[in-house]
Amino acid sequence: MNEQLLKLYSSKWSGLSGAITTILEDDTLDIKPANPLLLYINKEEDYKIADIRLMVFGQETNSWYDERATIKAVRYHYDNFFNGDKCWGYGGQFWNGVSRFLSCLQSKYPDKRIRLIWNNIVKIGKKSEKGFPPDYIYEIERELFHVIPDELQILKPNVVLFLTGPNYDSIIADNFGELKHEALSIFPERELSEVSLNGVDFAFRTYHPNYLWRNGIDKYFETIIENIKL
């Protein structure tokens, strides 16, 4: 899997690097791009035999280490931060939310082997700021680094959770096409929906944990987990 991911990223890297360099050298553009989020699976064989392969999407990748880095260097940062468990000490609403969801899922399926993959629906964000990148950065990703559908084909998650909020539905559609959203339980579709995602057994979209923590995060996660039947 890691070799397949490397081949995928390598096939895009030259064109992406050239476009990013152009932005970095353009003094009229104040906002510069972050490095892309490049996935790396720790203990591949354990991942392959996991009962639940959960991919959680955040919004965008911001402030992701030094500019003009190599694929190897960028993947190392992902491996070190995520697989090295530094993410759990990072704090913040997102990682606390992911931890809560993972704990709830494991409580429902105590005998299941669960492996988590972290992804972002926008792979290239801002170098030194938070928030959605300007169009001149996002269009580079769309045109030169459209890799998320291929990542799913390679990694074959059977549960996908978009913690992106409804304002990112158009970005999800940029990656997967228009998807069917169905409201769950008492929640309006905008707050929580099950998503029909080709090749994935269960997919859901709800708000970013920044919102969920202020509005009863457990009721959202419990509803999602009730609808995961493996």
Question: For the domain that residue 186 is a member of, what is the CATH number?
Answer: 3.40.470
Sheet holding 192-195, edge to edge: 114-122, 52-60, 159-163, 202-206, 192-195, 181-183
**Domain around 199:** 2-44+51-226
User: Using CA atoms, how far apart are residues 25 and 43, in angstroms rounded to an integer?
Assistant: 39
- At residue 120, φ and ψ (nearest 5 deg) are -130, 140
User: Using CA atoms, how far apart are residues 224 and 28, in angstroms rounded to an integer?
Assistant: 45
* Number of domains forming the structure of the chain: 1
Helix axes 2-24, 148-155, angle to 10 degrees: 160
**DSSP 8-state symbol, 178:** S
What contacts 24+ positions apart, CB below 8 Å, involve 131-138?
A: 131/60, 131/62, 132/59, 132/60, 133/31, 133/33, 133/60, 134/31, 136/23, 136/29, 137/23, 137/31, 137/33
**Tens place of pLDDT for every residue, the chain, 230 residues?**
999 999 999 999 999 999 999 999 999 999 999 889 999 999 999 999 999 999 999 999 876 666 667 898 888 888 888 888 888 877 688 999 999 999 999 999 999 999 999 999 999 999 877 889 999 999 999 999 999 999 999 999 999 999 999 999 999 999 999 899 999 989 999 999 999 999 999 999 999 999 899 999 999 999 999 999 98
Nearest one of 31, 4, 211 to 132, comparing CA atoms: 31
User: Using CA atoms, how far apart are residues 34 and 66, in angstroms rounded to an integer?
Assistant: 8
What contacts 24+ positions apart, CB below 8 Å, involve 44-47?
A: 44/1, 44/2, 46/113, 46/115, 47/1, 47/115, 47/155
**DSSP 8-state symbol, 123:** S
User: What's the full length of the chain, in residues?
Assistant: 230
- The DSSP bridge partners found for residue 140 are none
Nearest one of 25, 23, 37 to 136, comparing CA atoms: 23
Give me the pLDDT at residue 6, please: 96
